[in-house]
Amino acid sequence: MAKKTIADVNVKGKTVLIRVDFNVPLDDNGTITDDRRIVMALPTIEKVLDGGGKVILMSHLGRPKDAPDAKYSMKPTAVRLAELLGKPVEFATDTVGADAKAKVAALKDGGILVLENLRFQPGEKKGDAAFAGELAAFADIYVNDAFGTCHRTDASMVAVPKAMGLKPKVCGFLVEKEIKYLSDAIGTPARPFVAILGGAKVSDKIMVIKNLLGICDKVLIGGAMAYTFVLAQGGKVGKSLVEADKVDLAKELLQLAGDKLVLPVDNHCGDDFKADCNKKIVGAGAIPDGWEGLDIGPETAEKYADIVRSAKTIVWNGPMGVCEMPPFDEGTKKVAEAIAASGGTSIIGGGDSAAAIQKLGFADKVSHVSTGGGASLEMLEGKKFEAVEVLDNA
């Protein structure tokens, strides 16, 4: 998937339209609580500014219903970007309307403009060609630096680069890095290659598990989805979160996997879903009625850590338990520590895993923390992204 990047084009005097992923979390006061996605886009933005180009940034934020909604405005991201860059950032109160057009026309070399939320326009989610054409008309160069939405076919991801015609359409540095890490992990992993998959549902990760079983040396299972496998083996799960309708699927995976699929040998259980519940450690498949598994047990955590420590390539997606509620964060913590201590290439696949590795202070001790949970999962499934395919080949 070798694509041209922003480093391959001359941006001097050009207007560069960059699709970023500024879908950041906001509190009730509209304050950004985690600016990592903005920070990760800085190298691409600064490359254009340093090269004498003009920057127009477009993104979505949250899930507005195809119409303006003040609580999903991109304004806070423009304010934060200005703080990070130490220079003014213009903000357009619409996306392709009169304000956006006036501010694009007034933009000078070295200037930056953030457009209002793409999803305020119904054409964005529909992949509308007319809406895409209006955005494409703003710029001389298109850059995709929004890995978190690379698996989508929204207008800004696919129809806009198509509407650019023969104008350059390239990757930003973040998308280049994400694709390199994930495609290398799948295509040419150093071995042993270990995947750690957690979270609630087998159904969310079924295709990932199937694909990774064909590539990995070991696939370690944690989180609530482990209980569906326990049920498939005839074990007792008490009132643990399970997908009873996916038991046959779990049986099929167990048969397919042989000894590659590694399941918990013990569980940390509670009699209620709260931190101060009664707790006990029980063997896998021996969770009593009225109790629920809320984390992998200490024996499993040690076993998983041992496997991880000897790995040369590690992909982690999904926590091992209810990691936001101590003491049921112990399994996730133990696995994260082992990943950080391993000498291998370690890729953290977005979402809850990325949040956990940040919170535990290990983000700088792993090779790569993905900015896209859904996108990284789809890459691990072996899917191709049309949003990347439409960009110029290197």
Residue 201 designated active-site = yes
Residue 152 designated active-site = no
Catalytic residue, from 37, 54, 177, 333: name it: 37
Q: 6-176 domain in CATH 3.40.50.1260? A: yes
Q: Which architecture does CATH list for 189-380?
A: 3-Layer(aba) Sandwich (3.40)
8 A C-beta contact, residue 332 and residue 310: no
Q: Is the pLDDT of residue 79 over 90?
A: yes
8 A C-beta contact, residue 162 and residue 190: no
Task: Give the pTM.
Answer: 0.82
306, with CB counted inside 10 A (0-12, 13-18, 19+), is exposed
Catalytic residue, from 133, 235, 283, 374: name it: 374
Residue 361 designated active-site = no
Q: How far is CA 290 from the centre of its chain?
A: 35
CA-to-CA separations, 215 to 188, 251, 259, 338, in angstroms, rounded: 9, 20, 14, 21
pLDDT in tens, 115-155: 999 999 999 999 999 999 999 999 999 999 999 899 999 99
Give the mean pLDDT of 188-192: 91
pLDDT at 323: 87
- Domains of the chain, by residue range, sit at 6-176, 189-380
Measured from the Cβ of residue 278, the count of other Cβ atoms closer than 10 Å reads 10
Residue 285 designated active-site = no
Q: Which of 11-25, 99-113, 133-147, 211-225 has the lowest mean pLDDT?
A: 211-225
Catalytic residue, from 51, 199, 351, 373: name it: 351
Catalytic residue, from 201, 279, 312, 365: name it: 201
CA-to-CA separations, 327 to 24, 195, 336, in angstroms, rounded: 28, 24, 15
Residue 73's identity, in one-letter code, is S
Residue in the block written with tokens 């074990």: 235
Q: What is the DSSP letter of 241?
A: -
Helix or strand (DSSP H, E) at 389: helix 386-389
Same fold, 6-176 and 189-380: yes
Helix or strand (DSSP H, E) at 101: helix 98-106
Q: Is the pLDDT of residue 109 over 90?
A: yes
